[in-house]
Structure 1
C-alpha cells in the first residue's frame, strides 16, 4: 500500500507520528508535507497529495492543517478525489463506508494526537460498503 501525506505547519507533529505509524505497518509513505513549524501555505503541500490520488499513484491520501478545512477544500479540487474532513473515529468510519473517501483530512488544532492515530487506523481498516452508497458516490460530480 502507498499513501501520500501533506501538511502545513500546524500538522507537522501529527504528520511525523502518522508517518511512523504507517511505516511500522509496512506502508510506503510519500511525504509532501513540511517537517517544520514555520508558517507555510497548505495548498503547496496538499495539491501534490491530490494529484497522486487522482492519478492513481497512491492508494490513499492524508492531509493535515489547523482546521482541516483548507486542506480538505484543496484536495477536493482534484479529479476523483473524495476527501473527508473528519474529527472523530465514527465520522472517519462513515466517510469510508458510505462515501468511499480516499483522502482523510485531519484538523490538527481540534483533535488530539492519539485521536488522529486512531482515526488513521480506522480509515485504513474500513472498507466501502457499496450498495446504495455506490449509487450516491457515482452522483458526485467529477472536476475536469
Structure 2
C-alpha cells in the first residue's frame, strides 16, 4: 500500500506520531506537508492528500487537523474521495468495511496518541466487504457525477 499523509499545524504533532507508526508497520508513505508546526491552512494539505489518492498515485491517505472536521470537509470536496473522520477503532473498522474509506481523517487536538495509533492500525488492516456496500459506494459516485461541473 502506498499512502499520502498531510496535516495542518493543529495536526502536525499527531502526524509525526502516525508517520512513526507507518514506518513500524512497513507502510510506504509520502508526507505531503507541512514540514513545521507553523500556522498553515488545512484546505491546502487536505487537497494535496485527496488529489494524490484520487489520481491513483496513492492507494489511501491520512489527513489531520486540530479537530479533523475542517480537513474532512476539504478532502471530501475531491471527487472519488471517501474521507472518514474517526474517533475510535469501531468507526475506523466500519468505514473501511462498509464505506471503502480511502482517506482517514483524525483530530490532532482531540485524540491521544495511543488511541490515534489504534485507529490507524484498524483502518490500515481492515478490508472493504463489497457486496451490498458496493452498491452504496456506486450511489455516492452517482451523486458526485450529478454535481460535477
Q: TM-score, normalised by structure 1?
A: 0.95
The equivalent of 2:128 in structure 1 is: 128
Aligned-residue offset at 1:142: 2.4
* 1:60 correspondence with 2:56: no
For residue 33 of structure 1, report the CA deviation from its aligned partner: 2.2
Aligned twin of 1:15: 15
Deviations 1:37-93 (A, max 9, x none): 221111111111111110101111000001101111111111111000111110111
For residues 116-142 of structure 1, the C-alpha deviation after alignment (integer angstroms, 9 at most, x for no partner) is 111110001001111111111110022
The match for 1:81 is 81
Query: What is the rounded CA distance, in whole Å, between the counterparts of 2:49 and 2:101 in structure 1?
Result: 14
Query: Once superposed, what is the RMSD of the aligned Cα atoms?
Result: 1.1
Mapping of residues 83-98 of structure 1, within 5 Å: 83-98=83-98
> Displacement, 1:94?
0.7
Which portions of structure 1, spanning 4 or more consecutive aligned residues, are displaced by more than 6 angstroms? none
Q: Distance in 1 between matches of 2:132 and 2:4?
A: 29
Instruction: Tell me if 1:49 matches 2:49.
Output: yes
Q: Residue 108 of structure 1 corresponds to which residue in structure 2?
A: 108
The structure richer in helix per residue is 2
Deviation string, structure 1 residues 101-122 (Cα, Å, up to 9, x no partner):
0000001111111111111100
Structure 2 residue runs without a partner (length 5+): none
Could you tell which deviates more after superposition, 31-40 or 2-11?
Answer: 31-40
State the distance in 1 between where 2:102 and 2:6 align: 14
